[in-house]
Copies of this chain bind each other. A is one copy, B any other.
């Protein structure tokens, strides 16, 4: 069971609930966020009667019983769905939001030019890697803080908020200074130290699914962030590992309606990593929207042939523009805006 406190609940009201929980033989798990306080009951399942007892205590908004292992991420905890603010719109609202940009920030010019191009085509936010997780230690590892500065400059010019990956929990404060959204990459989905750090930061997070993680693993990873009272979490399906070799990964598109049913968090789809080939990005982007995704994250490069990474799966600005037009049509067909 989870006890959700009212927004203006006092410290006294909170400690009264905790005292009661402990008196009832449970352990209390406190999540204090910027906006509200939630108290979880850890232990055996409470009875329905007890649920009612908590819901009438002063300062309590509601008490919700949840049987799945993911509590705060559970749809039943927030049936209406969570909306995460992004550039004046809401991820998880009716409008489809698209995050676009290069895999890696390669230069000041590159990121500004790309930002302008994706902005013109209708993107809501700019992605770009400053710190890159690379399979090989000999590959380009990113321009670090320089790249963050160049992205901030691109934001000043275009107004697009910045989405960038954080790999090291020590860098969370630095990256928060520049970025609007902290991305957790697939390889770090179960880096629990990092999940706790971005949870504590109260910054918006884009959490990518691990390449061999189940839908439930993803929800449990989100739970790590949510337990710090940080509810600005977007989940991202980016393909899983299977035996198929025609594509880099296999898009688990089933996960989109599954997540929309199981959790209240917004769901973003990444057709670039999920396919690994630019020619499949547009059809998959459309499929993702048709399946119910709230947004997309897409790799765009001015000259994919010269990209230091992921050129094979990057759209050119023209291709991105065409994709956006078709995304709008499919979005409308399923009752969404774009």
Contacts and interface: CB of A to CB of B under 8 A. Distances in A.
Contacts of A169: 168, 170
A279 B261 contact: yes
Contacts of A279: 257, 261
Q: How many copies does the complex hold?
A: 4
A193 B134 CA distance: 11
A258 to B, nearest CB: 5
- Give the size range of A's interface with the partner: 35 or more
Interface in A192-225: 192-193, 210-212, 214-217, 220, 223-224
A308 interface: no
Contacts of A192: 133-134, 137, 167
Contacts of A191: 167, 187-188, 191
A62 interface: no
B243 A254 contact: no
A136 interface: yes
A133 B190 contact: yes
Contact of A252 (B135, B136, B244, B288): B244
Nearest to A258: B246
A330 interface: yes
A137 B330 contact: no
Interface in A244-291: 244-247, 250-258, 261-262, 274-275, 279-280, 283-284, 286-291
Contacts of A114: none
Given A245-B245, A250-B250, A283-B256, A136 B187 contact: no
A284 B251 CA distance: 12
Contact of A215 (B135, B168, B246, B274): B246
Contacts of A291: 283-284, 286-287
Nearest to A248: B254
- The residue in A137, A283, A288 that gathers the most chain B C-beta atoms within 10 A of its C-beta is A137
A107 interface: no
23 contacts: A134-B192, A135-B190, A136-B220, A137-B192, A167-B191, A167-B192, A169-B170, A188-B190, A191-B191, A211-B212, A216-B246, A240-B244, A241-B241, A242-B243, A245-B245, A250-B252, A257-B284, A258-B280, A261-B279, A283-B292, A284-B291, A289-B290, A326-B333
Interface of A: 29, 40, 42, 69, 71, 133-138, 167-170, 187-188, 190-193, 210-212, 214-217, 220, 223-224, 227, 240-247, 250-258, 261-262, 274-275, 279-280, 283-284, 286-292, 326, 329-330, 332-334
